[in-house]
Amino acid sequence: MITKFAIPEIIFGRGSLDYAGQCALRLGAKKVFLVSDAGIEEAGWLQRLMDILEKEGIKWVYYPGVTSNPRDFQVEQGAEFYLKNGTDVIIAIGGGSAMDTAKGIAIIASNGGKIRDYEGANRVERPLPPMMLITTTAGSGSDISQFCIITDMKRGVKMSIITRTLVPNISIVDPLILRTKSESLIIQSAVDALAHAIEAYMSQIASPFTEMHSLKAIDLILAHLQSAVATRSVDSLEQLSIAAVSASMAFSNAGLGAEHALAHSLGGHFDMRHGVVHPILLTSVMRFNCKINPKKLADIGRLIIKRQLGSDEETALAGIETLEAFFASFDVALRLSQLIPESERHHLEPICKMAVLDACNLTNPRPATWEEFLQICEEVW
Amino acid sequence: MITKFAIPEIIFGRGSLDYAGQCALRLGAKKVFLVSDAGIEEAGWLQRLMDILEKEGIKWVYYPGVTSNPRDFQVEQGAEFYLKNGTDVIIAIGGGSAMDTAKGIAIIASNGGKIRDYEGANRVERPLPPMMLITTTAGSGSDISQFCIITDMKRGVKMSIITRTLVPNISIVDPLILRTKSESLIIQSAVDALAHAIEAYMSQIASPFTEMHSLKAIDLILAHLQSAVATRSVDSLEQLSIAAVSASMAFSNAGLGAEHALAHSLGGHFDMRHGVVHPILLTSVMRFNCKINPKKLADIGRLIIKRQLGSDEETALAGIETLEAFFASFDVALRLSQLIPESERHHLEPICKMAVLDACNLTNPRPATWEEFLQICEEVW
C-alpha cells in the first residue's frame, strides 16, 4: 500500500503563543485575517495574539463570526469579508469551530463557489492562502489535520471536507492556553482526541506512521485525563496536548471511521458537539468493528488493560469494557436518550442514512450500512 | 521548553517511486534538476525515474557529479550547473551523499556564496527551490531532515549545515529500491539510523514528538536488521525503511550528539562513511552519556533488554552491552585500529579538537571536550 504522511510545522510548548508574530512573518504576513470566537475573546487570548502581531508590525482584520459547529453560510460570509479586506495570511485562534471556519473561508476565498461543492476527499483544486492555526483545546486536531467540518444547513449534516491543502503551514500548540478551559470542554476535547486515535488506528488506510501516533495518544489520554480534570496541572494539560497532536497526526493521514461518520450526522441534525457523543457511540462502534478486525482492536485492548488475554477478541473486549468504565468515571452522558428527547427518536433513521454517505465511513474496517448504524443507535439509546 | 517539529510530506510504500511524476507536477515542475550517483544509475533506478518524469511531460537536466562524502567544490560546481540550466525543481535519487549534494546545490543556487558560509544552525536566509528527495537507502535520513553534511576540503572536516528550509517539500520512500543494495550498505545504513535514533533520544532538545520516533526506530532496527541481511525479504527491508524515516523525524527535530560530532570529524579527515564508525563509537559515547543522564539511557536500555534492572544505570549498561553484542553479530569493524593505520593515530588529537566545534556536539546531554573525545577514541582504538 502507498501511504502519505503530511503534517504542518508544529511549534509546541508552554509559551509558544509568543512565537506567533515571528511565524506569521515567515509566512509573509503584512496584514492578516484573524478568526476567533467569543469565548477566546473573553478569556483574553485574542487580545494577546493581537498584541504579539502588532509587536512585529503586522496589521490585522478580525472576523468574529464563529459559532460552535460552523455553518455553510457563515463560511461563505467570512469569505466575502476576507476578499474585501486584502489580507495575506489567515490566522485562527480557537477550538475546532474557529479553525474549521478559517479553513472553510480559505477554501471559498481562493477557490470560489459554495462550501458544499468541496464535500468529500480531494475536491479543492487551487492553493489556499498561507494559514497558521493556534488551537485552544486539546482535541479537535484541526490545527494539524487535512479535515474541515462544516454544517450544511439545508441537509442538516456536518460535511467532511478532506484535502491535503487544508493542512496549515504552521500549527502553534501552547498548553498554557488550556488553563482557561472548563472541565467539560477538557473532557469533551480529550474524548474527541481519543476517538480520533482509535478510529485512525482501525482505519483501512492506517500506516505504521499513523499507528504509532494513535497508540501514543490513547496511552496518554487514559493516563492523564483524570488528573488533568482533578488538578488542572499544566503537566497533565500538556500531556493531553501531546496526545491531541499525536491523534491528529494519525487521523489526518489515516482517516477516521464509522463512529465519526455517525457523530457528524447526529451533530449536524441536532447541533451537538462531537465530544458529547463519543462516550456514547465509540465503544459501541468498537464492538461492531471487533467482528471485522479483532486483531487490531486487540492491540488497543492490550494497551488499555496492559496485558494479553486468551484470544484477540477477549483482549479487545476487555479493553472496550475498561474504556466504558473510564467514560463512566466522568460526568458525561452515556446514552443517546440523555441528549435526544424520545419525541425526536424517529429522526435516527434519516440520520443513519446520512451517516453512510460521510467520507469517514469509507475508511472504517468495513463501511457500516444504515441498518447497522441504526442498530448501534438503538443499542445505546 | 518550546519545541519545533517539521517534516516533509512523505509518500511511503512499495512502488511509491511511481508517484514521483505526479509529485513533481504538484511542485510546479516543468524542467527538473536531477541529482544521482553512479551506483543508482547502474542499478537502473535513475532511468526508471527519468521515464516516470517523461511520462508526465516533465523535462530534466541530469547532474551526475556525486561521490560519497560530498565535497564543497562539488556542490559549488553543481550550483553553477544549476544556474546555467534554468530548472525549477530539484530532485535527488540516491543515498545521503546524493541528497546532501542536492541540498548543498539548492543552498548555493538560491543564496550564493560558498557552502562553508552556511555551516552550523540557521545560517540559510533565502528560500530554496522546491525539492523532492527519493532515498535509496534506509539510513541517512537526509530525505526527511533539515541536515546537510558537506566536507570542507581545506579543513578536512564534514560540516553540519542545519536549517528548517533544508526539509524537502516531498520525500518518497520506496522499500523496493533497497533490494538492489549490498549487505554492507544495508548494515551501515541501519546502524546510521540507529545512531540517529539513540542520539536524538538523548539530545538536550528532544521532545515527546521526537522521543516516540526514536524509540520506534530503535525497536524496529534491533528486531529486523538481522533478518533483513539474512533473507533480504521486502518485509524486513520495509521495516528498516520505517525505522529510518522514524529516526530521521527524531534527529531532524531533536538534533544529534557527541557520537555524530566525532563521526563527522573522523569521516572528514579520513574520508570514511558514517555507517562504518558507528559500531565502534556509538556504545562508547553512550557509556560517556550514561554518567550525565542515566535515566534517559535506561529508557533505551529497557527497550533493548525488555526489562528494568535494579537501577537506571544497570539497565542502561545492560542495554549498551546487548547493543555491543548486536553489532558484533555483523561483519563490521569494532575497533578504530581496524580502520586507521597506527601511523595515522596522531591525527586523533586534531580530529577531536575539530569534533568539539561540530553543531551535533551542542545537543549532546553535555557537550564533550576534546580531551573526552580523545579518551573515547583511545578506548575503542
Q: From the candidates B10, B126, B145, B245, which should be mutated to test the interface with A, based on the most A CB atoms within 10 A?
A: B10
- Cβ–Cβ of A4/B15 closer than 8 Å? no
Percent of chain A predicted with pLDDT > 90: 93
Antiparallel, parallel or unpaired: β A120-121 and B147-152: unpaired
3-state secondary structure of A100: helix
- Cβ–Cβ of B9/A4 closer than 8 Å? yes
Q: Which residues pair with B31 in a beta bridge?
A: B59
Distance CA B132, CA B110 (A): 16
Is residue A301 within 8 A of residue A218, CB to CB? The reply is no
Percent of chain B predicted with pLDDT > 70: 100
- Cβ–Cβ of A13/B6 closer than 8 Å? no
Query: DSSP states of B112-167 as a string?
Result: -S-GGGG-EES---SPPPPEEEEESSSS--TTT-SEEEEEETTTTEEEEEE-GGGS
| pTM metric for this prediction | 0.94
* Chain A contact set for B213 (CB, 8 A): 212
Q: From the candidates A1, A7, A170, A235, which should be mutated to test the interface with B, based on the most B CB atoms within 10 A?
A: A7
Is residue A197 within 8 A of residue A217, CB to CB? The reply is yes
Q: Phi then psi for B62, rounded to 5 degrees?
A: -105, 125
Q: Phi then psi for B333, rounded to 5 degrees?
A: -70, 140
pLDDT at B156: 85
- Cβ–Cβ of A3/B13 closer than 8 Å? yes
Distance CA A368, CA A265 (A): 13
| A93–chain B nearest CA distance, Å | 18
* Residues sharing a CB contact under 8 Å with residue A196, sequence separation 6 or more, in sequence order: A141, A217, A247, A248, A250, A251, A256, A260
Place of cell 530534466: B60
Q: What are the angstrom distances between the C-alpha of B120 and each of A170, B115, B162, B261, B365?
A: 24, 11, 6, 12, 18
**Does A65 score more than 90 pLDDT?**
no
pLDDT at A282: 98
Antiparallel, parallel or unpaired: β B147-152 and B157-162: antiparallel
Cβ atoms < 10 Å from Cβ of A234: 15
**Does A155 score more than 90 pLDDT?**
no
- Cβ–Cβ of A16/B6 closer than 8 Å? no
Distance CA A153, CA A132 (A): 27
**Tens digits of pLDDT across chain B (381 residues):** 899 999 999 999 999 999 999 999 999 999 999 999 999 999 999 999 999 999 999 999 999 889 888 999 999 999 999 999 999 999 999 999 999 999 999 999 999 999 999 999 999 999 899 999 999 999 999 999 999 999 999 988 889 999 999 999 999 999 999 988 899 999 999 999 999 999 999 999 999 999 999 999 999 999 999 999 999 999 999 999 999 999 999 999 999 999 999 999 998 898 888 789 999 999 999 999 999 999 999 999 999 999 999 999 999 999 999 999 999 999 999 999 999 999 999 999 999 999 999 999 999 999 999 999 999 999 999
* Chain B contact set for A10 (CB, 8 A): 4-6, 209
* Residues sharing a CB contact under 8 Å with residue B308, sequence separation 6 or more, in sequence order: B298, B302, B315
- Cβ–Cβ of A6/B9 closer than 8 Å? yes
pLDDT at A143: 97
**Cell (9 digits) for B167:** 526539509
* Residue range A239-285, pLDDT digits in tens: 999 999 999 999 999 999 999 999 999 988 988 887 899 999 999 99
* Residue range A79-134, pLDDT digits in tens: 999 999 999 999 999 999 999 999 999 999 999 999 999 999 999 999 899 999 99
Distance CA A167, CA B7 (A): 13
Q: From the candidates B18, B23, B143, B209, which should be mutated to test the interface with A, based on the most A CB atoms within 10 A?
A: B209
Among chain A, residues having any CB pair with chain B shorter than 8 Å are 1-7, 9-16, 19, 164, 207-209, 212-213, 216, 242, 245-246
Place of cell 553512479: B38
pLDDT at B64: 87
Is residue A66 within 8 A of residue A94, CB to CB? The reply is yes
Q: What is the mean pLDDT of residues A46-67?
A: 95
Q: Which of B6, B10, B16 sits opposite A9 (nearest CB)?
A: B6
Q: Does residue B306 come out as left (phi exceeding 0), alpha (psi in the -120 to 50 range) or beta?
A: left
In which element (H, E) is residue A210 found? helix A208-231
pLDDT at B284: 97
| A306–chain B nearest CA distance, Å | 15
Q: Name which of A123, A153, A158 is nearest A142 in CA terms.
A: A158
Q: Which of B12, B19, B207 sits opposite A5 (nearest CB)?
A: B12
Q: Name which of B98, B63, B95, B59 is nearest B79 in CA terms.
A: B63
- Cβ–Cβ of A2/B19 closer than 8 Å? yes
pLDDT at B68: 87
Q: What is the mean pLDDT of residues A9-32?
A: 96
Antiparallel, parallel or unpaired: β B89-94 and B120-121: unpaired
Q: What is the mean pLDDT of residues A300-305?
A: 97
3-state secondary structure of B255: coil
Q: Which of B2, B10, B15 sits opposite A4 (nearest CB)?
A: B10
3-state secondary structure of A173: strand
Distance CA B276, CA A305 (A): 43
pLDDT at A219: 98
Q: Which of B5, B14, B19 sits opposite A10 (nearest CB)?
A: B5
| B91–chain A nearest CA distance, Å | 18
Residue of A nearest to B26 (CA): A127
* Chain B contact set for A19 (CB, 8 A): 2
pLDDT at A173: 97
Burial of B16 (0-12, 13-18, 19+ CB in 10 A): buried
Is residue A134 within 8 A of residue A270, CB to CB? The reply is no
| A19–chain B nearest CA distance, Å | 9
Is residue B151 within 8 A of residue B157, CB to CB? The reply is yes
In which element (H, E) is residue A21 found? helix A20-26
Strand order in the sheet with A147-152: A120-121, A157-162, A147-152
Percent of chain B predicted with pLDDT > 90: 93
Domains of chain A: 9-177 (3.40.50.1970), 181-379 (1.20.1090.10)
pLDDT at B188: 95
Is residue A236 within 8 A of residue A3, CB to CB? The reply is no
Among chain B, residues having any CB pair with chain A shorter than 8 Å are 1-7, 9-16, 19, 164, 207-209, 212-213, 216, 242, 245-246
Place of cell 457528524: A264
* Chain A contact set for B11 (CB, 8 A): 2-4
Distance CA A188, CA B163 (A): 38
- Cβ–Cβ of A209/B10 closer than 8 Å? yes
pLDDT at A268: 87
H-helix segments, chain B: 20-26, 38-42, 45-55, 72-85, 96-111, 183-202, 208-231, 234-254, 258-270, 274-290, 294-305, 312-328, 348-355, 359-362, 370-379
| B346–chain A nearest CA distance, Å | 45
- Cβ–Cβ of A209/B242 closer than 8 Å? yes
Check residue B58 and report its DSSP letter: -
**pLDDT tier for residue A42 given thresholds of 50, 70 and 90:** very high
**Cβ density class A331-364: b for 16+ within 10 Å, e for less:** ebeeebeeebeeeeeeebeebbebbbbbbbbbbb
Euclidean distance between the first and final Cα of chain A, in Å?
39
pLDDT at A98: 96
ipTM of the complex: 0.91
Q: Residue A30 corresponds to which amino acid?
A: K
pLDDT at B274: 78
pLDDT at B328: 97
